[in-house]
Amino acid sequence: MADELKQGLLSVVLPSFNEEGSIPRAADTITGLLTQAAIPHEIIFVDDGSKDGTWRAVEEQSHLHPQVRGVRFSRNFGKEAAIFAGLAQAAGDCVVVMDCDLQHPPEKVVDMYRLWQQGYQVIEGVKTSRGKENPLHTFAAKGFYSMISKATGIDMSRASDFKLLDRRAVDTLLAMREKNAFFRALSSWIGFSTTQVEFEVQPRLEGESKWSIRSLVRYALTNIASFSAAPLQLVTLLGVVVFVCSVVLGIWSLWQKISGQALEGFTTVILLQLLIGSILMICLGIIGYYIAKIYEEVKDRPRYIVAERCEGPKNDGQAEKDI
């Protein structure tokens, strides 16, 4: 049996934003583990426009470990862009994407690789729990994931960005030109033979989470808009509701006029104007949001801009494909 197993290079992609403290630990832990498990590998750090010494740390690691490489963005483009840049750089037969703060347990990479060897093409890390969070955050995350789950038809409630993808799946993702790509959902949406590995979210050892409430809200809205047109249907639904109300009220006011008691009801007029006005504006806002997203896609700007690369001394200088 054992000699039927696939063998191949594993690329590990680590998006990093202001992670100078985590880089050396990530590089040491991952290379140590994979070397011990006799898995041929390369490690790609994508510095997402960090303001601290992240790039210096990546360069240092690439000198210490020949299998470590780095890509540096010209500014912060966000985690999704960093993931896609890593996928574009990866030379492996399969690619693992994980956080460089080691909140995704590196031991699981070995389990994922073994499953890949058995023939699975997408191996998803699913969270057994969401780690420590405040209740409001949990509530908002639940709402967000139930919308995304409906839009994709896949249960996303425990999904994470921790995944192993076969070369076929990576190439499929890279061929998609959409700018607002939501990696977590797209990598399930593409299908292929999929399995799951459960993991417990580890506490962060260095630095702090890069997500502010504002960036989370923006992230949620962008991804809902990129995966679902349901908010636009909401516009139609609101229109129907207002129409039904207007028919009822119309009949009622006609009746009042006919029966000669039409002077009353000034408050109703004001309330109706306010209600309809605000519904119209909300609807325009929703439509405007989608138009803005279409505008972004039409402009066809690159997802990210690479400023620099680094690779270890022994590297053969491959991977010049970019943007």
Under the rule (CB under 5 A), what is the footprint of Mg ion? 99, 101, 103
If binding is defined by CB under 6 A, does position 17 make contact with ligand UDP? yes
If binding is defined by CB under 6 A, does position 106 make contact with ligand UDP? no
Residue from 20, 42, 99, 311 touching ligand UDP (CB under 6 A): that is 99
CA count, 13 A, side-chain hemisphere, 236: 5
Residue closer to ligand UDP, measured from CB, 17 or 120: 17
Strand order across the 94-97 sheet = 194-199, 122-127, 159-166, 94-97, 10-16, 41-47, 68-73, 306-311
If binding is defined by CB under 6 A, does position 180 make contact with ligand UDP? no
If binding is defined by CB under 6 A, does position 80 make contact with ligand UDP? no
The continuous run of DSSP H or E covering 249 comes out as helix 230-258
How far is it, in rounded angstroms, from Cα 46 to Cα 14? 6
Residue closer to ligand UDP, measured from CB, 138 or 209: 209
Between β-strands 41-47 and 10-16, what pairing exists: parallel, antiparallel or unpaired? Answer: parallel
If binding is defined by CB under 6 A, does position 100 make contact with ligand UDP? yes
C-beta of residue 131 within 8 angstroms of C-beta of residue 142: no
The interface mask with ligand UDP, positions 251-290, x = CB under 6 A, is ----------------------------------------
How far is it, in rounded angstroms, from Cα 53 to Cα 294? 36
How far is it, in rounded angstroms, from Cα 11 to Cα 4? 22
Residue from 10, 12, 13, 16 touching ligand UDP (CB under 6 A): that is 16
C-alpha triplet 20, 23, 26: angle, nearest 5°: 155
Tokens of 56: 């210096």
Among 115, 118, 110, 120, which residue's Cα sits nearest to residue 30?
Answer: 110
Among 252, 285, 286, which residue's Cα sits nearest to residue 268?
Answer: 252
Residue closer to Mg ion, measured from CB, 59 or 161: 161
Binding partner selected for residue 82 from ligand UDP, Mg ion, none, CB under the kind-specific 5 to 8 Å limit? ligand UDP
Residue from 103, 152, 188, 226 touching ligand UDP (CB under 6 A): that is 103
Binding partner selected for residue 80 from Mg ion, ligand UDP, none, CB under the kind-specific 5 to 8 Å limit? none
Residue 121 buriedness (CB in 10 A; 0-12 / 13-18 / 19+): buried
Tokens of 165: 């993808």
Q: Specify the stretch interacting with ligand UDP by CB under 6 A; choose among 74-82, 187-195, 255-263, 273-281.
A: 74-82
Residue closer to ligand UDP, measured from CB, 86 or 231: 86
Residue closer to Mg ion, measured from CB, 80 or 311: 80
Q: 266 by DSSP, 3-state: which?
A: helix
User: Least Å distance between CB 199 and Mg ion?
Assistant: 13
How far is it, in rounded angstroms, from Cα 299 to Cα 291? 12
C-alpha triplet 179, 182, 188: angle, nearest 5°: 130
If binding is defined by CB under 6 A, does position 19 make contact with ligand UDP? yes
Q: 151 by DSSP, 3-state: which?
A: helix
Binding partner selected for residue 124 from Mg ion, ligand UDP, none, CB under the kind-specific 5 to 8 Å limit? none
Residue from 78, 86, 106, 231 touching ligand UDP (CB under 6 A): that is 78
Binding partner selected for residue 211 from Mg ion, ligand UDP, none, CB under the kind-specific 5 to 8 Å limit? ligand UDP
Residue from 48, 59, 124, 311 touching ligand UDP (CB under 6 A): that is 48
Residue from 34, 82, 85, 186 touching ligand UDP (CB under 6 A): that is 82
Positions that interact with ligand UDP (CB under 6 A): 15-17, 19, 48, 76, 78-79, 82, 99-101, 103, 209-211
